[in-house]
Amino acid sequence: MYKELTATELADELERVRLFSPELTGPLAMLDEASLGWPRRYPQLAEPQRAFSQARHAQWPRTRSEETWRQVVATASALAGALRELGDIDLERCTEQAGWGTCGLTLSEDGQCSAAQEHLAPTVEPGSVR
Ligand SMILES: [Zn+2]
Protein backbone atom coordinates (compact mmCIF):
# COMPACT_ATOMS: atom_id res chain seq x y z
CA MET A 1 0.00 0.00 0.00
CA TYR A 2 1.52 3.29 -1.13
CA LYS A 3 0.30 5.12 1.97
CA GLU A 4 2.61 3.15 4.23
CA LEU A 5 5.77 3.91 2.29
CA THR A 6 8.63 5.79 3.88
CA ALA A 7 9.98 8.89 2.14
CA THR A 8 12.72 6.86 0.45
CA GLU A 9 10.38 4.09 -0.67
CA LEU A 10 7.93 6.60 -2.12
CA ALA A 11 10.85 8.32 -3.89
CA ASP A 12 11.84 4.94 -5.40
CA GLU A 13 8.30 4.44 -6.69
CA LEU A 14 8.24 7.93 -8.17
CA GLU A 15 11.49 7.32 -9.99
CA ARG A 16 10.06 4.15 -11.47
CA VAL A 17 7.42 6.27 -13.23
CA ARG A 18 9.75 6.70 -16.22
CA LEU A 19 9.51 2.93 -16.80
CA PHE A 20 5.70 2.97 -16.82
CA SER A 21 3.68 3.00 -19.96
CA PRO A 22 2.34 6.54 -20.57
CA GLU A 23 -1.12 4.97 -20.96
CA LEU A 24 -1.16 3.81 -17.35
CA THR A 25 -2.78 6.62 -15.39
CA GLY A 26 -3.86 4.43 -12.45
CA PRO A 27 -0.43 4.17 -10.78
CA LEU A 28 0.08 7.90 -11.29
CA ALA A 29 -3.18 8.63 -9.49
CA MET A 30 -2.11 6.35 -6.61
CA LEU A 31 1.29 8.03 -6.35
CA ASP A 32 -0.40 11.43 -6.39
CA GLU A 33 -2.65 10.35 -3.55
CA ALA A 34 0.22 8.75 -1.63
CA SER A 35 2.34 11.90 -1.85
CA LEU A 36 -0.53 14.25 -1.03
CA GLY A 37 -0.18 13.77 2.72
CA TRP A 38 3.49 14.71 2.85
CA PRO A 39 3.23 18.49 2.29
CA ARG A 40 0.89 18.78 5.31
CA ARG A 41 3.83 17.84 7.48
CA TYR A 42 6.69 19.03 5.28
CA PRO A 43 5.64 22.26 3.52
CA GLN A 44 8.76 22.24 1.33
CA LEU A 45 7.11 19.38 -0.59
CA ALA A 46 4.02 21.43 -1.48
CA GLU A 47 5.42 22.85 -4.71
CA PRO A 48 6.92 19.62 -6.16
CA GLN A 49 3.80 17.70 -5.11
CA ARG A 50 1.52 20.22 -6.83
CA ALA A 51 3.65 20.12 -9.97
CA PHE A 52 3.46 16.32 -10.13
CA SER A 53 -0.28 16.38 -9.50
CA GLN A 54 -0.86 18.89 -12.30
CA ALA A 55 1.37 16.95 -14.69
CA ARG A 56 -0.40 13.65 -14.07
CA HIS A 57 -3.80 15.28 -14.53
CA ALA A 58 -2.70 16.34 -18.02
CA GLN A 59 -1.87 12.70 -18.79
CA TRP A 60 -5.45 11.65 -19.53
CA PRO A 61 -6.05 10.09 -22.96
CA ARG A 62 -7.56 13.23 -24.49
CA THR A 63 -4.87 15.64 -23.45
CA ARG A 64 -1.69 13.61 -23.27
CA SER A 65 1.25 14.05 -25.60
CA GLU A 66 4.97 13.42 -25.53
CA GLU A 67 5.29 16.74 -23.77
CA THR A 68 2.80 15.89 -20.97
CA TRP A 69 4.55 12.55 -20.40
CA ARG A 70 7.91 14.30 -20.25
CA GLN A 71 6.41 16.58 -17.58
CA VAL A 72 5.08 13.63 -15.59
CA VAL A 73 8.50 11.97 -15.52
CA ALA A 74 10.31 15.24 -14.71
CA THR A 75 7.96 16.27 -11.89
CA ALA A 76 7.89 12.73 -10.43
CA SER A 77 11.68 12.79 -10.36
CA ALA A 78 11.76 16.26 -8.74
CA LEU A 79 9.29 15.14 -6.08
CA ALA A 80 11.39 12.02 -5.48
CA GLY A 81 14.45 14.23 -4.97
CA ALA A 82 12.62 16.40 -2.42
CA LEU A 83 11.42 13.29 -0.56
CA ARG A 84 14.95 11.87 -0.42
CA GLU A 85 16.15 15.03 1.31
CA LEU A 86 13.95 14.11 4.27
CA GLY A 87 15.83 10.87 4.79
CA ASP A 88 14.21 7.46 5.22
CA ILE A 89 11.39 8.57 7.48
CA ASP A 90 7.82 7.51 8.04
CA LEU A 91 4.97 9.95 7.78
CA GLU A 92 3.11 10.10 11.06
CA ARG A 93 -0.55 9.47 10.42
CA CYS A 94 -3.57 9.84 12.66
CA THR A 95 -4.70 6.55 14.21
CA GLU A 96 -8.04 7.81 15.58
CA GLN A 97 -11.27 6.25 14.38
CA ALA A 98 -13.37 8.35 12.05
CA GLY A 99 -16.55 7.70 10.09
CA TRP A 100 -14.53 6.24 7.19
CA GLY A 101 -12.39 3.93 9.35
CA THR A 102 -8.96 4.80 10.66
CA CYS A 103 -8.51 8.52 10.11
CA GLY A 104 -5.08 8.20 8.46
CA LEU A 105 -4.50 11.90 7.82
CA THR A 106 -1.03 13.30 8.21
CA LEU A 107 -0.38 14.77 11.62
CA SER A 108 1.10 18.23 11.79
CA GLU A 109 4.44 18.83 13.47
CA ASP A 110 2.79 19.26 16.89
CA GLY A 111 0.78 16.06 16.44
CA GLN A 112 -2.53 17.69 15.57
CA CYS A 113 -4.95 16.14 13.09
CA SER A 114 -6.73 18.56 10.75
CA ALA A 115 -9.84 16.34 10.81
CA ALA A 116 -10.05 16.06 14.61
CA GLN A 117 -13.68 17.19 14.55
CA GLU A 118 -14.49 14.17 12.35
CA HIS A 119 -13.17 11.65 14.87
CA LEU A 120 -15.68 9.39 16.50
CA ALA A 121 -16.06 9.86 20.21
CA PRO A 122 -14.09 7.18 22.04
CA THR A 123 -16.34 4.52 23.49
CA VAL A 124 -16.32 5.00 27.21
CA GLU A 125 -17.32 2.25 29.60
CA PRO A 126 -20.22 3.37 31.78
CA GLY A 127 -18.87 4.58 35.08
CA SER A 128 -15.27 4.83 33.94
CA VAL A 129 -13.45 8.06 34.51
CA ARG A 130 -11.33 9.58 31.74
ZN1 LIG B 1 -7.46 12.26 12.53
Q: What is the pLDDT of residues 66-102, one digit of tens each?
A: 999 999 999 999 999 999 999 999 998 999 999 889 9
**Distance in Å, CA 118 to ligand 1 centroid:** 7
- Provide the pLDDT confidence category of residue 28 given band limits of 50, 70 and 90: very high
Q: Do 123 and 99 share a domain, yes or no?
A: yes
Assess whether 76 and 96 both reside in one domain.
no
What residues have their beta carbon closer than 5 A to ion ligand 1? 94, 96, 103, 105, 113, 115
Domains contained in the chain, number: 2
Same domain, 12 and 59: yes
78/100 same-domain check = no
Alpha helices (runs of H) in 1-130, residue ranges in sequence order? 7-15, 26-36, 38-41, 46-57, 66-84
pLDDT at 3: 72
What does the pLDDT read at residue 49? 98
Pair (16, 80) in one structural domain? yes
Distance, C-alpha 15 to centroid of its chain: 15
Task: Tell me, rounded to whole angstroms, the distance of Cα 105 from its chain centroid.
Answer: 10
Distance CA 66, CA 59 (A): 10
**CB distance 37 to 93 below 8 Å:** yes
Quick one: 58 and 27 in the same domain? yes
How far does residue 35's CA lie from ligand 1's centre (Å)? 17
Distance from the alpha carbon of residue 59 to the mean position of ligand 1, in angstroms: 32
Average pLDDT, the chain: 91
Q: How far is the CA of 17 from the centre of ligand 1 (A)?
A: 30
Structural domain range at position 52: 2-84
